[in-house]
Amino acid sequence: MRPRMFFTMGSAITLLWIIIPLPAVAAVGSYKVHDLQVLSGPSPFAAGCPGALADDKKITGGEIEPAITSNPVNRRNIITTWQQDFGVGARSDLIGMSLDGGKTWTRSTIPRLTVCTGGTADFASDPWLSAGADGTVYFSGTSGSASSDPPPVAVVASHSNDDGRTWQAPATVAPLDPRNDTDAITASPTLAGHAYLVWGNWDHQYNFPMTNFLKFSRTTDGGATWSLASVIDQPGPTAIDFSGRILVLADGTLLAIFARADLADGRGELLAARSLDEGRTWLPAVQIGSQPVQQIVDPETGVELPQPGFPSAAVARDGTVYAAFEASNSVSSGAIGMARSRDGGRTWSTGTVPGVSAFAFEPSIAVDSHGTVGLTWYDLRNDRPGDAVLTTDVWFTQSGDGGASWRQTHLAGPFNLRAAPLGSHGLGEYQGLAASGGSGFAAIFTLAAPLAKDGPTDIFFAKIGPGAG
């Protein structure tokens, strides 16, 4: 349901940012993987969901697209979500909740999200989480009908007032519309009861000229009600805006970072827009960078490699904003791009993360309370051409000095990317990373065989922090 767009650091189109090469990677550093465990388990929907259209297209035991948040009121409270039994959408989105820093977990569902949980929607997709200043945990996602193609999709939101144990039935933020996609939610770190939801709205049949939008809604009463949708940005008639992320700056300014793809000239852009009035109005977007869009395939199978083009963004306590994005040129020439702004998103500098040599994809970024920047991603550096598998690993790097130096370590793997179903869709289009406690990070990501044991993919969780593993 989404475009396969990504940003590269090639020279076919002149960069519109100032390139600042990042320093070479330091030796393997002091941040270690303290725990790595399977978070997903047997599907609670193993018998399927009678009454849901296209239920036979779902893959029982297939999990993708995890998201994660840490509760600022109780840092040992970690909440996660992911798509369960995916196909064209998933049977539902599941919730994982821990009260002991990720040592133990309980799983639950959101009531009435789909037919599987007592609702009417045939599928769910695009789950996202964020915890607010008062401990309220917010969920956003999409749910839709499989009655037509492209399917009509609603943007929905739910919330939990008990650390993620139980959830309210979802509220509809945007009604069924085949144009809705790529939602994300952000809770205010300072205003209790305030949260912000962004999503793309575009013609999924790409009939030119198009009228497309990046839309926004907010709640100021803890998720009980949501404002009418407003427009963050409207691209030209041949372009789409997608994969928005809302950051809240120290002065209350909202910063929307999002991707744009111009389907006529094959150009991808990364942009940032600011709102000074909590999303009621938005200043014109500034361009972080512009690059050609290209397709990169597995040279042994011809299957497109994952390259969804979803940026990941975070803001540090000192106000520095970081955005990570895919920047590979080929299977053998890979990169993760890093953009940085020190003036609230008005201007940007960028470079590439050191120590990435092969095709790399799906970065996730976070900043902990001490200002340490953490970043996870997948890459193919350990693959051996000509064998039967596409060897893939997950990596982590951190910088404690705002990007002046970096320390990298292996996070998980290897696994066989070709074992993930649905080609480039097999891991989903994003993974998750959150600051955890005073220092360190909590990561959540999708792995395939041979590490996945219950179905073709499993969701894994890892704690990453100082000291020995």
Q: 313, 247 in Cβ contact below 8 A?
A: yes
For the whole model, what pTM was predicted?
A: 0.94
Domain that holds residue 267: 18-464
Q: Is position 7 within any domain?
A: no
Burial classification of residue 391, based on how many CB atoms lie within 10 Å of its CB (0-12 exposed, 13-18 middle, 19 or more buried): middle
How many Cα atoms are found within 13 Å in the side-chain-facing hemisphere of 407? Answer: 15
Angle at 58 between CA 139 and CA 163, to 5 degrees: 20
Residue 68 pLDDT exceeds 80: yes
Q: Is position 8 within any domain?
A: no
3-state secondary structure of 375: strand
Give me the CATH number covering residue 336: 2.120.10.10
Average pLDDT over residues 298-315: 95
Average pLDDT over residues 242-260: 98
Q: What is the pLDDT of residue 11?
A: 26
Residue 13 pLDDT exceeds 90: no
Q: Is position 353 within any domain?
A: yes
Q: Is position 295 within any domain?
A: yes
Q: Is position 374 within any domain?
A: yes
**Which residue is associated with the tokens 């869009």?**
293
How many domains does the chain contain in total?
A: 1
Q: Which of 29-33, 284-288, 354-358 has the lowest mean pLDDT?
A: 29-33
Q: What is the pLDDT of residue 205?
A: 95
Average pLDDT over residues 105-117: 98
Q: Is position 2 within any domain?
A: no
Q: What is the pLDDT of residue 438?
A: 74
Q: Which of 10-24, 29-43, 108-122, 240-254 has the lowest mean pLDDT?
A: 10-24
DSSP 152-192: PEEEEEEEESSTTSS-PPPEEEEEEETTEEEEEEEE-SSST
Q: Is position 44 within any domain?
A: yes
Summarize pLDDT for 335-352 with one digit per residue, the tens: 999 999 999 999 999 999
Q: Is position 6 within any domain?
A: no
Average pLDDT, the chain: 92
